Amino acid sequence: MKILVALSGGVDSAVSAKILKDAGYEIEGCYMKLHGRDDYHAKNIEKVQDVGNFLEIKTHILDLCDDFKREVFEPFLQTYKVGKTPNPCALCNRTIKFGKFLDFARSKGCDKIATGHYAKIENNLIKSAVDLSKDQSYFLANIEPRVIPNIVFPLGNMLKKDVKKFAASFPELEKISKSSESNEICFVENTYIDVLREFYKTETPGIVRNLQGEIVGKHNGYMNFTVGKRRGFDVFGAHEPHYVVKIDAKKNEIVVGSKADLDKNEFETQNFNTFLNIDEILKMDEIYVKIRYRSVKIACKIEISLNDNLNNESLTDKNLNFENSDFLNNQDLKAKIILKTPANGVASGQLAVFYDKSDHVIASGFIA
């Protein structure tokens, strides 16, 4: 079997390649250029070439900058512009790392692709990694279900400390084993607002309202805020913390309230991406959702329906049978999520990821 390994210049991808090579697979490596930070790429490509020389494998450089700009970066900008919270990694994994990269692998005669993500594949489903502190199943939950048979995650059963220890045991990988962690968002060098300033006038003074609609303060531009943020704006005469609970991008206004005002008992998602037959999901006794990468899973109930452009009928096992629902795709579906306990800081634009009781990813959807 021939596998193309995504090499980033970091320890995780290097160890993934080493593990697969030692297991007897025919492997090649590939570095993806996703943005225009040339200095960033130069140092990483050098590391990738060093790994390739150590493993005696062929390495490729795949320029996906145009695709990344169209599929990930521009939606990132647009999402902030309308006052929502984007998840660029979820978009990138679907369209780039497990989309265009897989296409490239096939063009090179490879059967599968491998990455250094901390996740597992079990029963043709993505599953949380053994190292829960590094688990990346959340970010992988938006990929197309059909690509899962073509993916390998060599680090799914390893702890991060053991990955570093393994790399350090080889002189050729010792330097990489000591390198610092990469940024969560690769094109953000410092903060997201620094990126936005290059394209938008982010420092535009506006007003702060309370939940009753009264003007209670001022801010310096709505793009500086996401739902749940508690600093950076002024509330006149405030004696207790206030949190952003809503953003009105058209009016350049933010609405603030108490921490309790952030609690939600239900929300809706768009582009509901399912890894199991819908009928199976609807009949599950236990479903859990994560509304952010670092959030705790919350027990929930899911009500699935077709998007408004198709029809408005709720999909339940009482009125429709979805055993033959393969004709649907994630653009067709939306879902209402009813939480067993309130969630704090549910933000429009973020990804909600759904798990079964065994930590398998069964679905995802972007919060409406």
Q: Specify whether 26 is located in the same domain as 134.
A: yes
In a domain, 184, yes or no: no
Bridge partners of 333, per DSSP, are 306
In a domain, 191, yes or no: no
Q: Specify whether 248 is located in the same domain as 270.
A: no
Cα separation, 191 vs 199, whole angstroms: 14
Cα separation, 76 vs 363, whole angstroms: 22
Residue that is written with structure tokens 């990821």 in the block: 353
At residue 99, what is the residue type?
G
In a domain, 232, yes or no: yes
Has 92 been annotated as catalytic?
Answer: yes
CA distances to 68, 168, 184, 334 from 88, rounded to whole Å, are 10, 32, 10, 20
The predicted structure's pLDDT at residue 316: 47
Question: Of 177, 192, 218, at which residue does a domain stop?
Answer: 177
The predicted structure's pLDDT at residue 311: 53
Hey, CA dihedral for 233, 239, 244, 246, is it positive or negative? negative
Cα separation, 284 vs 269, whole angstroms: 19
The predicted structure's pLDDT at residue 190: 81
Q: Specify whether 66 is located in the same domain as 123.
A: yes
CATH number at residue 210: 2.30.30.280
CA distances to 80, 119, 166, 358 from 131, rounded to whole Å, are 32, 9, 15, 15
Has 30 been annotated as catalytic?
Answer: no
In a domain, 190, yes or no: no
In a domain, 286, yes or no: yes
In SS3 terms, the chain reads as CEEEEECCCCHHHHHHHHHHHHCCCEEEEEEEECCCCHHHHHHHHHHHHHHHHHHCCCEEEEECHHHHHHHHHHHHHHHHHCCCCCCHHHHHHHHHHHHHHHHHHHHCCCCEEECCCCEEEECCEEEECCCCCCCCHHHHCCCCHHHHHHEECCCCCCCHHHHHHHHHCCHHHHHHHCCCCCCCCCCCCCCHHHHHHCCCCCCCCEEEECCCCCEEEEECCHHHCCCCCCCCCEECCCCCCCEEEEEECCCCEEEEECHHHHEEEEEEEEEEEECCCHHHHHCCCCCEEECCCCCCCEEEEEEEEECCCCCCCEECCCCCCCCCCCCCCCCCEEEEEEEEEEEECCCCCCEEEEECCCCEEEEEEEEC
The predicted structure's pLDDT at residue 187: 84
pLDDT one digit per residue (tens) for the chain, 368 residues: 999 999 999 999 999 999 999 999 999 999 999 998 888 899 999 999 999 999 999 999 999 999 999 999 999 999 999 999 999 999 999 999 999 999 999 999 999 999 999 999 999 999 999 999 999 999 999 999 999 999 999 999 999 999 999 999 999 999 999 887 776 678 887 889 999 999 999 999 999 999 999 999 999 999 999 999 999 999 999 889 999 999 999 999 999 999 999 999 999 999 999 999 999 999 999 999 999 999 999 999 999 887 766 555 554 443 434 444 443 455 678 899 999 999 999 999 999 999 999 999 999 999 99
At residue 296, what is the residue type?
V
Q: How many domains does the chain have?
A: 3
The catalytic position among 89, 92, 110, 300 is: 92
In a domain, 275, yes or no: yes
In a domain, 61, yes or no: yes
Cα separation, 346 vs 368, whole angstroms: 10
Q: Specify whether 147 is located in the same domain as 222.
A: no
The catalytic position among 30, 89, 110, 186 is: 186
Q: Specify whether 301 is located in the same domain as 362.
A: yes
Assigned token pair, 235 = 């509330």
Hey, CA dihedral for 4, 159, 137, 41, is it positive or negative? negative
Contact 96, 64 (CB under 8 A): yes
CATH number at residue 52: 3.40.50.620
Bridge partners of 268, per DSSP, are 336
Q: Specify whether 242 is located in the same domain as 296.
A: no
Q: Specify whether 252 is located in the same domain as 272.
A: no
Contact 174, 167 (CB under 8 A): yes
Q: Specify whether 248 is located in the same domain as 311.
A: no
Q: Specify whether 333 is located in the same domain as 350.
A: yes
Give every strand in the sheet of 112-114, ordered side by side. Answer: 59-63, 26-33, 2-6, 112-114, 151-152
CATH number at residue 363: 2.40.30.10
Torsion of CA 220, 345, 142, 326, to 10 degrees: -130
Q: Specify whether 317 is located in the same domain as 291.
A: yes
Question: Of 257, 272, 305, at which residue does a domain stop?
Answer: 257
| Structural domain boundaries enclosing 140 | 2-177
Cα separation, 173 vs 143, whole angstroms: 30
Q: Specify whether 285 is located in the same domain as 360.
A: yes
Question: Of 212, 238, 257, at which residue does a domain stop?
Answer: 257
In a domain, 342, yes or no: yes
User: What are the backbone angles phi and psi of residue 232, rounded to the nearest 5°?
Assistant: 100, -5
Q: Specify whether 109 is located in the same domain as 233.
A: no
